[in-house]
Structure 1
Amino acid sequence: MWKALYIKYKTPLLFSIILSVLYASFAYDLERYDFIKLISIFTALFFLTYKLIQFNHGNFKFLLLVGIVFRLVFISALPNLSQDFYRFIWDGRLIANFINPYLFTPNEYLLNGYNYIAQAETLTREMGSLSVGNFSNYPPINQLIFGVAGLFSKTSILGSIIIFRIIILAADIGILFIGRKILIKIGKDPKHIFWYFLNPFILIELTVNLHFEGVMLFFFLASMYALIKNEWLISAILLGISVSVKLLPLLFLPLLFQWFVNKDKSIDWRKNIFKLSLYYGVVFTTVAITFLPFISQELIQNYSHTIGLWFQKFEFNASVYYLFRWIGYQLVGWNTIATLGKILPIIVLITVLTLAFFRKNTSVKQLFSAMLIGSFCYFSLSTTVHPWYIATPLLLSIFTPYRFAILWSFMVFFSYSAYTIDGFQENYILITLEYGVIFIFAFAEFFPTLKQKMLSQYKHFVHK
């Protein structure tokens, strides 16, 4: 029996061992500024993962097991591509001491001479000047997760990291099972969910570097599954919880219009509008309830100020925005982010509303496709696109005919070229390569007829 099992699983086991070694090297023996090593290991991980899924697409239990094992490889590793986790631990320890994390910055805490937080100097030094000088921008359910780590690991940074990883692992497993159910329900190959669960991008950005997009996406996907089963009240509550982990799902609310109003035309449209209004009401009520433990006038002022800064002060790995910024320099001679940071979100809103009212979104595939297009537009026009943001379009793409987001989950790692041993300096050639490839691939998928026509004209021109 053992010999038969060995023969059957010899190749996938070999791939799994090699992947585990590469993940260990990435997590424990890599500095962020070593871009050549970073992109080389990541490329190898991507290729080997593709082959692993290809060889074992029908073996759900095996792929589930290796996905968990890969994540356990990182269990004691310090995140090496982001220092945000120091701020997570900081906020969590504030909450564990019944201190509202929204009311003052870490700098203000230190200046006031408070001594509630263990390792306060280490945490504030390591989280970086940008984080230490600003108010927390993490919504309440995210803060609750931080608080759990703060409660059970009051003096150990590694202990908090392990707690975060266990929660993120649980969310990823939840996404795997719910995503598989949705794929089966809509008649798609359930193995496609492994392009989320085993994607090296997901393992590195979420499990290694401790970003909570996976937790947000778990509640979001659970909400969509409940909606598909016509359990709209449960769906609305889950979506509200998802928003309270990360605000991004607010972008998708208008896209539910067609689903409620036009999906069942046997029901009077006014009743459907009323149900949609109730759905929105439950979502916002859920979000409001999660904010209640922290509510104060200062919270509203500080939180809105921090969110505003995100759109009008911060810049990283942008695409269309960088082009507009360059045009602004040519026209007026300075950085126009303050103006563009107000205009670009309006363009995103108009695009999402156009998708909501003029595109048919009454089937599961259509709804997820609209959400994918909306998120693609949002990130294309954003001033800041950190790699872990791409987790959302990646998961959405699994339920659609489009695959450009899988390519994006690879190409986005070129943004790490900005971190060098001498400091931070973005490489605009690599950013152009990153988005050039993504936009071309997305265009070809969104407009296949036009692509074929262009190819035909090109062939005709070449052979003329």
Structure 2
Amino acid sequence: MVKTLRPYIKLHKYSILIVLGCILFYLSFAYDLDREDFTKLMLLYGALVFFHYKLIQFEKWNFKFLLIAGILFRLVFVIAEPNLSQDFYRFIWDGELIKNGINPYLHTPNTLIERPDFAITNSQELYNGMGALSARHYSNYPPLNQLIFTVSTYLGGGSVLGSLIIMRLSIILADIGILYFGRKLLKIIGSSTHLAFWYFLNPLVVIELTGNLHFEGVMLFFFVCSIYLISINKWKLAAPVYAMSILLKLVPLLFLPLLLKYFGFKKSAIFYTLIGVTSLIFLLPFISPEFLANYSKTVGLWFSNFEFNASIYNIVKKVGVHYFEAKPWELVKSYGNLVPKLVILIALLLTFLRKNKNIKTLLGSMLILLTSYYFLSSTVHPWYIIFLLTLTIFTNYRFPIVWSVLVILSYYAYSNPEFKENLWLLAIEYSLVLGYIIYEIFKNHNTLSLFRKKFTQK
């Protein structure tokens, strides 16, 4: 055993040192970082990004090594309390409500906590932890998310830490599933399977999903699995799986029009119907007139009330307030009402103007649509970029990898009590991302080579 292990260690010594270094940095990130300490946050994240790049460079064909490394990075966070997000308190709150027969879509935490007969496990701790913004709104998490919250509270045995561990394990398993189906899909489209590790080992994915308990990873597991099933012509089986991705996060709804040209009208109608039936089955336990009103109102807030790490919106706001004396709170509502219309328009253009008849082109259209939405949106949390990161490994574009590095600049807002963003840092983030997008457009359409030829001819 020792004789076989020694040559292996010698051969992979630099990679092993990198993995150990990453584990130490993730330990510091998980257990010794205050989100107000922006300098430390940046240094840790920068080091992890560099190590992530080197690890793939050294070991990109060593599947087992990279798989084990990715799992070890995630296990570092298993008993840590998320330090960049407090959303987990609301997750457990919703799970405890359902466990006690209370519909989380019909009552806000503020109204429930005032009731003398209200009693759920750890109610005061959860209420205090979720924050005032979450406490005054109805739940906006779709039904399958609620199922995971409920199972986590059951298996967690009434402990906040126990519930966190169960949720984390579900996210880790989902990431392994993304790696599995992602590699299969990469083989089908003729791309290198090692590209899946740009997702699996990415520090943003490890920190935001496993570390901060965002369920984009579970949603992406169902999404990637459904796209794989579509690619092998098992589209009827893919429909309920796709529905499950929507029932975790609503974002995959954006892509449904794009499937019209891929399937054709008849298949699309069946596919959409199967998605609708699956969604209805999961929605049935919650459906009531109040549910529809409350849920649509809460989801609408994300378009018209919140703002974080925005690009085009910040420009519109600056111009509107400075030159037209617009009121910021009115501007965000008007702008938020406009964004869905623009996104629908872009989706329709991509549906009818692009030839979405093979999987790679279809995924490319999805990447364009989601990128457009994020550039238009007034709220782009760092973990949102992970969907782009997943899509990009199946295309010829790599700008989401660059964005996954730069989006950490948005966390500067947490470093001050007023939660005030630094627009200069956001300008750097979006300028570099946009610059790289423009570069890749020229590169992928051979425009750069044409310029070089013309220049050398002269």
1:374 counterpart residue number: 369
3-state SS of the aligned residue for 1:389? Answer: helix
Within 5 Å, give how 1:80-159 maps onto structure 2: 80-159=83-162
CA positional deviation for 1:373 = 0.5
1:57 counterpart residue number: 60
Please state if 1:25 is matched with 2:28: yes
CA positional deviation for 1:459 = 8.3
2:448 counterpart residue number: 452
Please state if 1:179 is matched with 2:216: no
One-letter identity of the residue aligned with 2:132 = S
Please state if 1:391 is matched with 2:386: yes
1:331 counterpart residue number: 324
Distance between the aligned counterparts of 2:132 and 2:71, measured in 1? Answer: 35
CA positional deviation for 1:337 = 1.2
3-state SS of the aligned residue for 2:158? Answer: coil
Distance between the aligned counterparts of 2:428 and 2:455, measured in 1? Answer: 25
CA positional deviation for 1:450 = 8.3
Change in Cα spacing, 1:126 to 1:454, as seen in structure 2 (3 Å) is: farther
Within 5 Å, give how 1:391-410 maps onto structure 2: 391-410=386-405
2:432 counterpart residue number: 437
Whether the 8 Å contact between 2:303 and 2:339 is mirrored in structure 1 is: no
3-state SS of the aligned residue for 1:30? Answer: coil
| Cα deviation digits, residues 164-187 of structure 1 (max 9, x gap) | 100000100000000000111111
CA positional deviation for 1:458 = 13
| Cα deviation digits, residues 28-58 of structure 1 (max 9, x gap) | 0000010111011101000001101111111
CA positional deviation for 1:215 = 0.4
One-letter identity of the residue aligned with 2:212 = N
2:194 counterpart residue number: 191
Whether the 8 Å contact between 1:182 and 1:225 is mirrored in structure 2 is: yes
> Which of 385, 403, 420 matches 1:425?
420
- Calculate the TM-score normalised by the size of structure 1: 0.94
Displaced runs of 4 or more, over 4 A: 453-460
3-state SS of the aligned residue for 2:219? Answer: helix
2:411 counterpart residue number: 416
Distance between the aligned counterparts of 2:203 and 2:239, measured in 1? Answer: 31
- Calculate the TM-score normalised by the size of structure 2: 0.95
1:211 counterpart residue number: 214
Distance between the aligned counterparts of 1:83 and 1:242, measured in 2? Answer: 23
Change in Cα spacing, 1:124 to 1:10, as seen in structure 2 (3 Å) is: same
Change in Cα spacing, 1:257 to 1:4, as seen in structure 2 (3 Å) is: same
The runs of 5 or more residues in structure 1 that have no matched partner are 262-272
Distance between the aligned counterparts of 2:447 and 2:335, measured in 1? Answer: 31
Whether the 8 Å contact between 1:95 and 1:150 is mirrored in structure 2 is: no
CA positional deviation for 1:325 = 1.7
The runs of 5 or more residues in structure 2 that have no matched partner are none
One-letter identity of the residue aligned with 2:203 = P
> Which of 301, 307, 313 matches 2:305?
313
The percent identity for this pair of structures is 48
> Which of 354, 357, 371 matches 1:359?
354
CA positional deviation for 1:118 = 1.5
3-state SS of the aligned residue for 2:12? Answer: helix
1:268 counterpart residue number: none
Distance between the aligned counterparts of 2:406 and 2:371, measured in 1? Answer: 14
Distance between the aligned counterparts of 1:18 and 1:451, measured in 2? Answer: 41
Distance between the aligned counterparts of 1:457 and 1:108, measured in 2? Answer: 69
One-letter identity of the residue aligned with 1:402 = Y
Whether the 8 Å contact between 2:105 and 2:139 is mirrored in structure 1 is: yes
> Which of 279, 285, 289 matches 2:277?
285
| Cα deviation digits, residues 280-319 of structure 1 (max 9, x gap) | 1111221121110111111001001101111111111111
